[in-house]
């Protein structure tokens, strides 16, 4: 047993069993704050960009932020940061629920390094950190694991764990907390599995400190009022949850169908928000401190759980040509139990379906076959049969069968539920994302489709680069706090800066806060450059650049990427090859990192 005091970081070496405490210097806290920012800084400093992500030398960071567990709206998130085994990029994933606030109440961020000889879990509670044997839960799903570990520790504790997919180092494996909340993307569950780490169980009682209580409460009150007036956070997400997007995105003509071969799903009514409420909805739920409550508990075919969310409805729905809502829910529940990222799993199955449709593989996996789809989810999580190949992700799968163009991915990460041909700015955001194909690095669907914070012509390519850069910077900054991204539908950068300033007692202007995000973005870029990525990887599958959509309200469109990419590099202060210039790094205070 190792004693822990009031240090900000616990460093747990699984090879030696040693647990140490470390302080984070004030300059680092000021420049990178917490959450994604702190985790990226640690991984950049301590992980060789050329390392095998599933080797003992990789590290994984669990980080919270200065607002985690406070009265700030939707402050219940935590971040997981490592080098991704799926993409090879520096990677962060974050999750809601209640694990994050409990980790914050413990008073620590956590660095995991090394590899245990036998399966273990971390049991961290006030004043103590233990490495305990996990043989009793190795091989168990995430629900069984959570229940067993709470029995062994404390019913009031919170658990973040992996399922069989993580244990077997499936590259689509995620980290599950609260049974159905996921740090989902990038295969970070496989990193835990490679270290023989089954779970982190935490129980803490420390209150998150707030420097100026009265001003902080005033800022929180203003933010809550703003969220309660915004039609998206007040109405759409509260009433329908994220499934509210299905009909709108489909009518816009950017709902990807059958592995992005089309942008309009003729059976969308079967999986839309209204049908969801009618057929599988049980009740809403909210993560810690969330006034929105977008979560949905559902029941289908005698089983219940959280979700499916919009992205999952798409991944196991239109992407695979499936309109049976109950079967989509079955696939979702199975992913939660096995510990799989629903987006990448469904998308890779869709890739396999197209490969099969075109005769490139002989597995006989047909679009619309929901039974085969669910069975493939099971096989992927258990790494059985053809599921072994699905578990490598779409990029490796398509390359294996000689047709890399069939993989709908960027930098190895499967694209989510928006066809970029109908949203030029969002296309640029996909192509330039540091972690690979992601909609949350800069959610251009906001201005280009939802009209938030202001409407933009979604078909126009010119002028989008500066907006994408701004959203990327702000999103990275918000990920340091660490608040739910849905708050950004209503809150602006000044409100985020005010929450941070009043909570920490360190004055951040809106511009200084934005610059924190820009600093993180450039540090991620530097890591990726050293890992071998560059301009050649800031691209999209050729389908989006050459093949126009043939139907729907985005028909006839392709992505005008090359023009936007040059404007983007200029806006970023990068060279034509996509490398941050020395003067930019000096301005951001990270000039010593360009090596």
Pairing of strands 9-13, 303-306: unpaired
Distance CA 178, CA 524 (A): 29
> Length of the chain in residues, anyone?
595
d(CA 422, CA 97) in angstroms, rounded, equals 33
Quick one: which H or E segment has residue 212?
A: none
Strands, E, within 291-332: which ranges? Answer: 295-300, 303-306
CB atoms within 10 A of CB 508: 21
Mean pLDDT across 507-531: 98
- Neighbour tally for 131: CB within 10 Å: 20
What pLDDT score was predicted for residue 235? 87
Integer Cα distance of 125 and 203 in angstroms: 5
pLDDT of 595: 67
> CA angle, 440 as apex, 439 and 444 as ends, to 5°?
65
pLDDT digits (tens, 9 = 90+) for 446-492: 999 999 999 999 999 999 999 999 999 999 999 999 999 999 999 99
| Mean pLDDT, residues 428-436 | 97
Tokens standing for 243? 């499934």
CATH 3.60.9.10 is held by the domain 2-203: yes
Confidence of residue 594 (pLDDT cuts 50, 70, 90): confident
Mean pLDDT of 180-198: 97
Q: Are 38 and 480 in contact (CB under 8 A)?
A: yes
Distance between CA atoms of 549 and 42, rounded to whole angstroms?
A: 43
Write the pLDDT tens digit of every residue in 18-69.
999 999 999 999 999 999 999 999 999 999 999 999 999 999 999 999 999 9
How far apart, in whole angstroms, are the C-alpha atoms of residue 465 and residue 220?
32
CATH 1.10.599.10 domain range(s) in the chain:
420-593
- The whole-angstrom separation of Cα 63 and Cα 11 is 12
Q: Which residues contact 14 (CB under 8 A, 6 or more apart)?
A: 112, 113, 114, 115, 116, 120, 131, 195, 196, 197
Question: Which pLDDT score is estimated for 239?
Answer: 85
Phi, psi (deg, nearest 5) at residue 242: -65, -25
Residue 111 DSSP one-character state:
E
Per-residue pLDDT, 127: 77
User: What is the mean pLDDT of the segment spanning 513-535?
Assistant: 98
Q: Which fold has domain 252-412?
A: 1.10.569
Identify which of 269-283, 322-336, 581-595 has the greatest average pLDDT. 322-336
For the 420-593 domain, the top CATH level (class) is: mainly alpha
Least Cα distance to 183 among 91, 111, 103, 104 occurs for 91
Average pLDDT over residues 415-443: 97
Q: Kind and range of the H or E element at 277?
A: helix 273-279
- Res 186 pLDDT > 80: yes
pLDDT, tens digit, 9 for 90 and up, residues 199-246: 999 999 999 999 999 999 999 999 999 999 999 998 889 888 999 999
Instruction: Give which of 227, 291, 240 is closest to 74, Cα–Cα.
Output: 291
Tally of CA atoms within 13 A in the half-sphere of 220 that contains its CB = 20
In percent, how much of the chain has pLDDT > 70?
Answer: 99
Q: Are 378 and 338 in contact, with CB atoms under 8 Å apart?
A: yes
Using CB atoms within 10 Å of the CB of residue 152, give its burial: 0 to 12 exposed, 13 to 18 middle, 19+ buried.
middle
Asked if 172 and 165 count as a contact pair (C-beta separation under 8 A), the reply is yes
How buried is residue 349: exposed, middle or buried, by Cβ count under 10 Å (0-12/13-18/19+)?
buried
Confidence band for 5, pLDDT divided at 50, 70 and 90: very low
Tokens standing for 59?
Answer: 């590290």
Burial class of residue 286 in the structure, from the number of CB atoms within 10 Å of its CB (0-12 exposed, 13-18 middle, 19+ buried): middle
The helix (run of H) or strand (run of E) holding residue 94 is strand 90-95
Give burial (CB, 10 Å; 0-12/13-18/19+) of 12: buried
Classified as helix, coil or strand, 158 is: strand
Neighbours of 372 (CB within 10 A): 17
pLDDT digits (tens, 9 = 90+) for 330-374: 999 999 999 999 999 999 999 999 999 999 999 889 999 999 999
- Spatial CB neighbours of 116, under 8 Å, sequence gap ≥ 6: 14, 15, 131, 195, 196, 197
Of 13, 96, 93, 110, nearest to 57 (Cα)? 13
Where does the pLDDT of residue 4 fall: very low under 50, low under 70, confident under 90, or very high at 90 and above? very low
Rounded to an integer, what is the distance from CA 543 to the centroid of its chain? 25
Q: Do the beta carbons of residue 64 and residue 104 sit within 8 Å?
A: yes
Write out the residue limits of the CATH 1.10.569.10 domain(s) in the chain: 252-412
Q: What mean pLDDT comes out for the span 259-285?
A: 94
Nearest to 350 by CA among 304, 301, 408: 408
Residues whose CB falls within 8 Å of the CB of residue 100, separated by 6 or more in sequence, listed in order = 64, 68, 69, 76, 77, 78, 288, 482
Any long-range contacts for 381-384 (C-beta under 8 Å, 24+ apart)? 381/163, 381/164, 381/165, 381/170, 381/334, 381/335, 381/337, 381/338, 381/339, 381/340, 382/164, 382/165, 382/168, 382/338, 383/164, 383/165, 383/168, 383/170
CA distance 569 to 92: 23
Which tokens hold the place of 340? 């799989």
493: number of CA atoms within 13 Å, CB side? 18
**H or E element in which residue 371 lies:** helix 370-382
User: Encoding tokens for residue 290?
Assistant: 């969330």
All CATH 3.60.9.10 domain ranges of the chain, comma separated, are 2-203
Which pLDDT score, from 0 to 100, does residue 240 have?
Answer: 84
Assign 1 a pLDDT band (cuts: 50, 70, 90): very low
In the chain, the N- to C-terminal Cα span, in Å, equals 40
């Amino acid at each position: 047993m190792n004693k822990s005091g009031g240090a900000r970081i616990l460093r747990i070496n699984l090879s030696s069993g040693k647990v140490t405490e470390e302080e984070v210097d004030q300059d680092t806290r000021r420049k990178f704050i917490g959450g994604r920012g702190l985790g990226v800084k640690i991984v950049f400093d301590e992980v060789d960009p050329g390392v095998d992500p599933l080797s003992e030398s990789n590290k994984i960071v669990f980080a919270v932020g200065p607002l985690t567990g406070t009265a700030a709206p939707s402050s219940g998130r935590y971040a997981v940061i490592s080098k991704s085994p799926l993409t090879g990029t520096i990677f962060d994933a974050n999750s809601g629920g209640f694990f994050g606030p409990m980790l914050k109440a413990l008073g620590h961020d956590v660095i995991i390094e090394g590899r245990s000889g036998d399966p273990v879990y971390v049991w961290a509670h006030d004043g103590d950190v233990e490495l305990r044997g996990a043989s009793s839960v190795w091989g168990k799903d995430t629900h069984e694991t959570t229940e067993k570990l709470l029995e062994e520790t404390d019913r009031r504790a919170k658990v973040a764990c992996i399922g069989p997919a993580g244990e077997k180092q499936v590259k689509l494996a995620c980290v599950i907390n609260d049974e159905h909340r996921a740090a989902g993307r990038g295969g970070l569950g496989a990193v835990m599995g490679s270290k023989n780490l089954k779970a982190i169980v935490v129980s803490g009682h420390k209150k998150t400190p707030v420097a100026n209580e009265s001003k902080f409460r005033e800022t929180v009150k203003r933010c809550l009022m703003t969220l309660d007036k915004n039609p998206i956070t007040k109405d759409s997400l509260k009433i329908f949850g994220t499934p509210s997007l299905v009909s709108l995105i489909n009518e816009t003509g950017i709902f990807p169908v059958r592995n992005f071969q089309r942008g309009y799903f003729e059976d969308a009514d079967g999986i839309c928000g209204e049908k969801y409420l009618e057929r599988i909805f049980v009740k809403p739920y909210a993560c810690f401190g969330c006034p929105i409550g977008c979560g949905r508990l559902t029941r289908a075919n005698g089983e219940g759980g959280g979700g499916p969310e919009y992205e999952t409805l798409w991944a196991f729905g239109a992407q695979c040509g499936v309109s049976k809502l109950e079967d989509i829910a079955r696939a979702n529940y199975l992913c939660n139990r096995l510990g799989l990222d629903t987006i990448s799993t469904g998308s890779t199955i869709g890739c396999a379906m197209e490969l099969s449709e075109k005769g490139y593989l002989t597995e006989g996996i047909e679009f619309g076959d929901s039974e085969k789809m669910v069975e493939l989810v099971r096989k992927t999580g258990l790494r059985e049969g053809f599921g072994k190949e699905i578990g490598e992700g779409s990029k490796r799968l398509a390359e294996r069968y000689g047709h890399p163009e069939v993989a709908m991915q960027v930098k190895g990460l499967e694209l989510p539920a928006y066809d970029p041909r109908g949203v030029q700015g969002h296309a640029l955001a996909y192509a330039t994302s540091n972690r690979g194909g992601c909609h949350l690095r800069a959610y251009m669907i906001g201005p280009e489709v939802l009209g938030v914070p202001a409407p933009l012509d979604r078909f126009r390519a010119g002028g989008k680069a500066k907006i994408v850069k701004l959203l990327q910077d702000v999103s990275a900054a918000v990920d340091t706090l660490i608040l739910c991204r849905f708050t950004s539908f209503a809150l602006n950068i000044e409100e985020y800066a005010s929450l941070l300033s009043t909570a920490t007692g360190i004055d951040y202007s809106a511009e200084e806060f934005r610059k924190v995000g820009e600093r993180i973005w450039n540090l991620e870029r530097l890591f990726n450059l050293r890992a071998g990525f560059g301009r050649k990887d800031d691209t999209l599958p050729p389908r989006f650049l050459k093949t126009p959509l043939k139907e729907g309200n985005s028909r006839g469109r392709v992505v005008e990427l090359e023009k936007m990419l040059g404007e983007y590099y200029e806006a970023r202060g990068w060279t034509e090859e996509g490398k941050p210039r020395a003067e930019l790094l000096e301005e951001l205070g990270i000039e010593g990192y360009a090596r």
